[in-house]
Amino acid sequence: MTEATTAGRNQTPAPRAGTLAQGVHVIKRQVRTLPPGPGVYRMLNTAGDVLYVGKARNLKRRVTNYTQPARLSIRLQRMVAETIAMEVVTTHTEVEALLLESNLIKRFRPRYNVLLRDDKSFPYIRLSTGQEWPQVSKYRGPRRGGDTYFGPFASAGAVNRTLSALERAFLLRSCSDSIFSGRSRPCLKYQLKRCSAPCVARIDRAGYDQLVSQAEAFLTGRDSQVQRQLAVAMRDASAALEFESAARYRDRIHAMAQIHAHQDINLETANLVEADVIAAHADGGQICVQVFFFRAGRNNGNRAYFPRHDKSIPIEEVLSAFLGQFYDNKPPPRHILLSHQVAERDLLAQALAVRAERPVKLLYPQRGAKLRIVRHALQNAREALGRHLAESSSQRRLLDQVANLFALEASPQRIEVYDNSHVSGTHATGAMIVAGPEGFIKNAYRRFNFGKSEIPIAPGDDYAMMREVLTRRFARALKEDPEHANGLWPDLILIDGGQGQLNIALEVLAELGIDDQPLAAIAKGPDRDAGRERFFMPGRAPFTLEAKDPLLYYLQRLRDEAHRFAIGTHRAKRSKAIGASPLDEIRGIGARRKRALLNHFGSARGVARAGLEDLESVSGISKTVAHKVYDFFHSQE
């Protein structure tokens, strides 16, 4: 690839900045140097922000279109008027240009492109087949070699239901390696018949490997094969009068059947095993894209998306842009069923095939079982958009009421809510959640830990914790966005607390020289009754709202979401501390040696109290390692 940049400089007087004529002038200068081959172009504004990313088979011909404003839509005329520079990257093929375009759109999130706003990673089921005793677990993130992955699933709920049924059907361990290596007796899951307890040798290696093979067969779509094996085993056990074993096989068959009970539609009649079904519906100036995931012939759930786009862009163009961005960071399946005939379908298929490193087919069904499946997804898209529009309308009315209540200049686009969580000062955590016209903006949530504070915070000092959180948040905002130009400043700060917390917030903002930030606090009423909350604002007496006021419910939801987020973070820290063992801190003590020590002495406390000779007598612990363990505990004393 090669890249070129121009800032629209000319020796002759240029048109006035910010006008359509000036934008056309910049683009004309760029066109002179453009090649007639494929590539990607970016349009930039005065702040250096990317306004638009586009790709072209012929850069020169495509960019020339922007020099004829009479043929452009109002949206594109506005974009050209804001353009003061362009950046161009040439590519070898149009497929490469399409892949680069999708990547740059997700990276820069340009204002004039169709944007996929919610693009969180999907959960998978991971079977750690590279381990001696494979573990089945939920997984997000980059794939690692040696393990087997099944999915994706549309939500954590969908993958959790499947995992629960897998535990009952195949009795594979789901515990972490540290817990597995430290067990001396079976855990509760063994008693509930959800694990075969390989940690304490209740099953031999050959038996466990058979369970792993059956689970792999089931997850890859060979359900009937596994069910036949279990049915034969159940009959054999029953004929041998081994009724407890027969009952276990019966329960496993029922657990497998439970997974299929959640399938409202399937792909067997459509002769498809691995496919995504993507349907789009437009109404009220917005578009909902519904995605169904089918893997191994099973429905792994669905998710609705509401991409950001200009109302003038046709649904086919929105869907095409959605496909490029949606599969930018995830492998596409072999078949993708679409509700609309998208432009450049063959080019998209080639680009997705490059990403998947195998053929990918984009199908636009016209009849038969495939069309029925697409229509089902389209109905879901229609219903999801109806709910979204109703919620958006209600949300806008609530935000208008928030503006009136707290004397804001306009309806808030960003509300930040702050809360702290701790138990007697331990594992303290600060939390910030963000809400706007589209609801909670979860990718903007932030956690604050207090372990590295410059000024020590006394255990349980809520005021000091709030001071620390707000200082860090707004000192960073001043550094990164001093002009309030990037939309990262809140239109309203809402503190979970009373007058004291409000005073702390006012002091922090004053110290940072911020004097125009709307601020309020919400405190539980007498006896901490929900519905009797009191609100505090600078220069105004505390006030309450009617108990059944919808605005009060909305503000309670904001406060409760901040509390939930803070509590969740606090509990995670506390659980990690509870599950930690001093043996984990000793270099050279891996899972096997840790297990040997715990099995011999019964607990980490027993290891700490052991003498040097006792440590040396443990099977698998050399004299060198025994000295290391002994010195670790006694040097701490």
Read off the tokens for 608.
Answer: 């700490």
What's the fold here for domain 415-561?
Nucleotidyltransferase; domain 5 (3.30.420)
Q: Count of CB atoms within 10 A of residue 214's CB? A: 22
State which fold the 2-108 domain adopts. GIY-YIG endonuclease (3.40.1440)
- Distances in Å between the Cα of 227 and the Cα atoms of 145, 200, 205, 218, 230 are 29, 28, 22, 9, 5
Helix (H) or strand (E) holding 336: strand 335-338
Classify 259 as helix, strand or coil.
helix
C-alpha distances (whole Å) from 111 to each of 76, 85, 117, 434, 609 are 11, 15, 12, 21, 64
Q: Do the Cβ atoms of 447 and 573 come closer than 8 Å?
A: no
Distance CA 121, CA 155 (A): 10
- The answer to whether 303 touches 155, Cβ cutoff 8 Å, is yes
290's CB contacts (< 8 A; 6+ apart) are 278, 279, 280, 281, 302, 303, 304, 305, 377, 378, 380, 381, 384
Contact residues for 329 (Cβ-Cβ < 8 A; gap 6+): 106, 119, 121
450 φ, ψ (degrees, to nearest 5): -115, 10
- Shared fold status for 275-387 and 415-561: yes
434 neighbors 441 (Cβ within 8 angstroms):
yes
Residues constituting the chain: 637
CB neighbour list of residue 216: distance below 8 Å, 6 or more residues apart: 127, 129, 148
- Whether the upstream peptide bond of residue 13 has omega within 30° of 0, thus cis, is no
CATH no. of 582-636: 1.10.150.20
- Using alpha carbons only, how large is the chain's radius of gyration in Å? 30
User: DSSP 3-state assignment of 550?
Assistant: helix
Q: How far is the C-alpha of 418 from the C-alpha of 534, rounded, in Å?
A: 16
Longest CA–CA separation in the chain, Å: 99
Using an 8 Å Cβ cutoff, are 193 and 251 in contact?
yes
Cα 419 to Cα 326, 406, 439, 445, distances in angstroms:
34, 19, 19, 12
Distance between first and last Cα of the chain: 62
- Distances in whole angstroms, Cα of residue 40 to Cα of each of 147, 218, 537: 37, 44, 50
Predicted confidence at residue 8, as pLDDT, reads: 44
DSSP symbol at 527: G
Check if the beta carbon of residue 36 is closer than 8 Å to that of residue 58: yes
User: What stretch of H or E contains 40?
Assistant: strand 39-44
**Are the C-beta atoms of 126 and 82 separated by less than 8 Å?**
no
The 3-state DSSP class for residue 43 equals strand
Name the residue among 380, 343, 336 with its Cα closest to residue 359. 336
CATH fold of 275-387: Nucleotidyltransferase; domain 5 (3.30.420)
Burial of residue 134 (number of CB atoms within 10 Å: 0-12, 13-18, 19+): buried
The answer to whether the CB of 281 falls within 8 A of the CB of 287 is yes
In sequence order, what are the beta bridge partners of 290? 279, 304
Domain boundaries, the chain: 2-108, 124-261, 275-387, 415-561, 582-636
- Residue 86 tokens read as 């362009």
440, burial (CB in 10 Å: exposed 0-12, middle 13-18, buried 19+): middle
Alpha carbon separation from 80 to 3, 4, 9, 43, 519 (Å, rounded): 21, 19, 16, 8, 38
pLDDT of the residue at 243: 85
Q: Report pLDDT for 636.
A: 45
Residues with pLDDT less than 70, the chain: 1-18, 118-119, 258-270, 422-427, 451-460, 485, 525-531, 569-581, 635-637
Kindly report the number of other CB atoms within 10 A of residue 476's CB atom.
12
Residue 111 phi/psi, 5° resolution?
A: -65, -35
